[in-house]
Structure 1
Amino acid sequence: MRKSISVKGLSHRHPVPNACRIGNMVFSGAVHGVSPTNHELPTEMADQSANVFANMLAIIEAAGGSVEDIVKVEIYLRDSSNRNAVNEEWLRMFPDPESRPARHVRPLPADSPSLVQCEFIAVIEDVL
């Protein structure tokens, strides 16, 4: 059975959940760098990156998992040379080099208000 995962403060403008869980698999939609408390998008890359990773954590936990369950992350950057803030957050969330998810970087449109976004896939051990 498919289950929509929606996190208060992170809801989309459209009638779309933050993620979907089916069995032990979780697939996120776009995870933005908005603040979950004031719903604003910071202008600085470091702040958006910190929010993206915090929002990813909130979504996977709402789905019943943890960062250990994340197996793939797609990072979207408006400027692909601007990875330092993303890498700092990446190392904070996934400190063990022997246990990190796969990652791929893709471009965001130049006119996007976001500097960074992500999507992820997770496999949770315990089935609901």
Structure 2
Amino acid sequence: MTRRRSVEIDGVTHGNMPVPQGSRIDQFVFSSGIAGIDPETGLIPDDPRRQVQLVFQNMRSFMEVAGGTPDDIGRITVYLQDEEYRDLVNEEWIKMFPNPESRPARHTAVKDLRRGALVQVELIAVLPW
């Protein structure tokens, strides 16, 4: 039996790429890029607020499939198409992590994103044994 297993979110894919949404090895979880893809349609909506909401929804779903919760996330890297979306991310951040004494580390960078994405995240989590 392999120690590593792929983690997939229903309805959220990387298209034709042979890349899973993430990978779990023992209690460690690593994501690929998680975008604001609507799992009902498989599309990224044009609305920035909706995209950010979907990013956080998909992050929560990803953690559930991996066997954990957002409380197990230790670090998140946020990629923004433009700095103007930072406030939208911060709104959802506070909803997902309301306790300022218990939030994951975070790094944010501005970069060109694909497929109409305005926001994307990557995460590292550690699940309880």
Smaller-chain TM-score bracket: over 0.9
Which one of the candidate residues 87, 92, 109 is aligned to 1:89?
Answer: 92
Spell out the pairing of 1:45-124 with structure 2 (5 A cutoff). 45-109=48-112, 113-124=116-127
User: What's the TM-score once normalised by structure 2's chain length?
Assistant: 0.93
Q: Deviations over 1:19-77 (max 9, x none)?
A: 10001000000001110111121112111100000000000110000010000000000
TM-score normalised over the length of structure 1: 0.93
Q: CA deviation at 1:112?
A: 6.0
Asked whether the equivalents of residues 26 and 63 of structure 1 are also in contact (C-alpha less than 8 Å), the reply is yes
- Paired with 1:23 and 1:37, the residues of 2 have a C-alpha distance of 30
Return structure 1 stretches of 4+ with deviation > 3 angstroms: none
Structure 2 unaligned segments of length 5 or more: list them.
Answer: none
Cα displacement (A) at 1:111: 7.1
Equivalent pairs, count:
126
Note the aligned Cα RMSD (angstroms).
1.3
One-letter amino acid matched to 2:29: V
SS at match of 1:81: helix
Please report how far the alpha carbon of residue 5 of structure 1 lies from its aligned counterpart in structure 2 after TM superposition: 0.6
Partner residue in 2 for 1:9: 11
Q: CA deviation at 1:10?
A: 1.0
**Are the structure 2 counterparts of residues 113 and 105 from structure 1 closer, same or farther at C-alpha, using a change threshold of 3 Å?**
same
Greater displacement, 86-95 / 103-112: 103-112
The whole-number CA distance in structure 1 between the counterparts of 2:55 and 2:113 is 19
After TM superposition, the structure 1 stretch with the greater mean CA deviation from structure 2, 77-86 or 54-63, is 77-86
Deviation of 1:110 after TM superposition, in Å, equals: 7.0
Q: Which runs of 5+ in 1 are unaligned?
A: none
Q: Which amino acid in the other structure matches residue 64 of structure 2?
A: E
Structure 1 vs Structure 2: percent identity of aligned residues?
42
